[in-house]
Amino acid sequence: MGLFRNRRRPTDTGDASGGAPTATVAEGRPTPLAPERIVAWLKDNDFHYFTDDDGDIGGLWKGRLFFFFLLGEKQEILQVRGQWHRDIALERLQEVLDACEEWNAERIWPKTYARVRDNGMVNVVAETSTDLEHGATDEQLAQLLQCGLSSANSFFDAVDELYPDPAAVAP
C-alpha cells in the first residue's frame, strides 16, 4: 500500500538524537489523583482555598468561585469548575447561550454553559475535565490545574466585556 513510503526521514544533525525531535520528560512517576495533591498544589502556590461540608476543595480567583472535583468510579477524572461572579437576567439567556456556543466552537477549553437557577437568574459556568486514569506527575497535575483556572478566567473576562459591571462605572 505504501502509506509510509514517502515519509521524510530526519537528516543527520550530528547530535545523538539523529535529528529526531526530543520530548521533555516530566519528573517523577504518575501517581493517582487525590484531594491532598490538589491541596498541596494550592499551598505551594500560596493560593487561599477552603474545603466545604461535602469535602469539595474550592477557592476564589478574580472574585470567581472555583471548585476542584475528582470524579469517576476511582476519582480518576480531574474537573476544574468555575462560576462567573454575577448572575444574568433570564431575559438574556439566549445571548449567554450564544456566547457560550461561540466560545465552545472556537476553543477546546474550557467547556462553557449556562444554568438557570431556582431564582430564575442565569449562572455562567466554565469547566475543564481530564481523565487521568493512569495518574499524573506533580508537574502534569500543576499544569492541568493552572490551565483549568486560566482558561476559565479567560472566558469569564470575555463575559465581563459583554456584560460590564454597572457598579464599576462612576455615576
In tens, the pLDDT along 54-109 reads: 999 999 999 999 999 999 999 999 999 999 999 999 999 999 999 999 999 999 99
Rounded to whole angstroms, what are the CA distances from 127 to 2, 10, 21, 67, 110? 43, 40, 33, 9, 5
In tens, the pLDDT along 136-156 reads: 999 999 999 999 999 999 999
Q: Are 86 and 163 in contact (CB under 8 A)?
A: yes
| DSSP-derived pairing of the beta strands 50-51 and 64-71 | unpaired
User: Cell digits for 125?
Assistant: 459556568
Closest residue by Cα to residue 100 from 126, 121, 74: 126
85/98 Cα distance (integer angstroms): 19
The CATH code for residues 35-163 is: 3.30.1460.70
Per-residue H/E/C for 122-133: EEEEEEEEEECC
Q: Are 128 and 155 in contact (CB under 8 A)?
A: no
Q: What is the pLDDT of residue 13?
A: 45
Radius of gyration of the chain (CA): 21
- The answer, yes or no, to whether residue 160 has pLDDT greater than 50, is yes
Which phi and psi (to 5°) does residue 8 adopt? -75, 140
What is the rounded average pLDDT for all residues in the chain? 89
Q: Which residue has the higher pLDDT, 47 or 167?
A: 47
Residues β-bridged to residue 71: 77
Q: What is the pLDDT of residue 6?
A: 44
57 three-state secondary structure = strand
Q: Are 128 and 152 in contact (CB under 8 A)?
A: yes
Domain ranges in the chain? 35-163
List all residues 6 or more positions away from 12 whose beta carbon is below 8 Å from its beta carbon. Answer: 18, 19
